[in-house]
Amino acid sequence: MGRRALITGVTGQDGSYLAELLVSKGYTVYGLVRRLSTPNMTHLAAVKERIHLIDGDLTDQSSINNAIRESQPDEVYNLAAQSFVQTSFKQPTLTCDVSGVGVVRMLEGVRLHAPQARFYQASTSELYGQVQREPQDEATPFHPRSPYGFAKLMGYWAVINYRESYGLHASNGILFNHESPRRGIEFVTRRITHGVAQIALGKSKNLHLGNLAARRDWGYAPEYVEGMWRMLQQREPSDYVLATNTSFTVAQFASLAFKVAGFRNWRKFVSVDQALMRPAEVHTLRGNPKKARKRLGWQATTRVPELVKKMVAADLENLEGPRR
Ligand code: F7E
């Protein structure tokens, strides 16, 4: 019989790429979706007819249990979260409930209803926060700097505890930032590429950004979902960093994006908006993916200049319609 997978957060960037990957590998894919008055299925266009959607919410244990019983998964990918760091400062307890306690609910559901299933947790480089070492790897101490970060820290430790206490095959993917044309518009890379496309097409005159000096290790999302899958194919569960081991500042990303659209002087268009600054900032992140390379044979291949090109091209096409 073919394998079965349950994905939470299936409508998002990573969830939709992962659903496509698993469908292409012959899995029967189930996705947990939160009810919205206006459903957002855009990213699932390619696979919507081939996956099964189940209503549920990470804050609701019975809907999680029901989804696990209904899907009888061999693999569970917990990608759902309140994932925007800035919002987590405004809604800290909601963020903890979804992105922290939500992980415990998922693990309880798996422990009680599908204990043989392999479990992937979307952990994050935000755990490192105020970085203690450069580059960061699986042994680097954590120091989260936001409610999102400390909620995810709870999820990270919950995974390790369920592994040690109950023998669940549960793994943390400590993923550094990973982007694509499907990235939500509130995140900085997409905010930049969408803003650049609008300026290039005469639909806007400027772009407001926050901290231009922040430095991130940005990779390409479809490569990272392949890494998630590889983690669950290992005989033993473990925790892995996925990253490119290179980093760029927000200013460098913006400069590249304007250049791709034919603008030399990006500073002319960009103004800094204090409202986009965070109460505490994660200034710099760069990950060392050596363990993933060695054990999973995984490597990031797309670097920032190529990523910027893909994202600007997609935003130009979205806004102006396909080129002839
Ligand atoms: O910010 C700075 C901002 O919101 C990146 C999530 O997927 O990756 C993501 O978290 C940096 C920060 O992502 C703007 O202050 C400047 O230093 O794109 P971001 P993030 O906070 O790194 C990790 C791995 C996750 O797990 C998260 O779920 O860019 N920045 N100007 C800005 N950020 C935003 N959003 N908007 C600006 O205008």
The yes-or-no verdict on residue 323 having pLDDT over 60 is: no
The residue-averaged pLDDT of 83-104 equals 98
Residue 322 pLDDT class (50, 70, 90 cuts)? low
With a CB cutoff of 8 Å and minimum separation 6, the contacts of 32 are 6, 7, 8, 9, 10, 53, 54, 55, 56, 63, 64, 67, 80
Closest C-alpha to ligand 1, atom 29:
188
Say yes or no: CB of residue 210 within 6 Å of ligand 1. Answer: yes
Active site residue 70: no
Task: Give me the residue label for tokens 């200034």.
Answer: 283
Q: Please state the rounded mean pLDDT for residues 19-26.
A: 98
Domains 4-178+220-242 and 186-216+247-285+303-323 share a fold: no
Nearest CA to ligand 1 atom 22: 177
Whether 193 sits among the annotated catalytic residues: the reply is: no
User: Residue 276: CB within 6 Å of ligand 1?
Assistant: yes
- Residue closest via CA to ligand 1's atom 20 equals 85
317 is an active site residue = no
Residue 23 structure tokens = 């469908």
At residue 128's C-alpha, the angle toward residues 303 and 185, to 5°, is 50
What DSSP letter does each residue of 60-127 carry, written as one string?
Answer: -HHHHHHHHHHH--SEEEE--S---HHHHHHSHHHHIIIIIIHHHHHHHHHHHH-TTSEEEEEEEGGG
CATH number for domain 186-216+247-285+303-323, candidates 3.30.110.30, 3.40.50.300, 3.90.25.10, 3.40.50.80: 3.90.25.10
Boundaries of every domain in the chain:
4-178+220-242, 186-216+247-285+303-323
CATH 3.40.50.720 for domain 4-178+220-242: yes
The 3-state DSSP class for residue 293 equals: helix
User: Is the pLDDT reported for residue 324 higher than 50?
Assistant: no
* C-alpha of residue 66 to centroid of ligand 1, in Å: 34
Q: Which residues pair with 8 in a beta bridge?
A: 32, 78
Separation of alpha carbons 2 and 222, rounded Å = 23
pLDDT averaged over the chain? Answer: 97
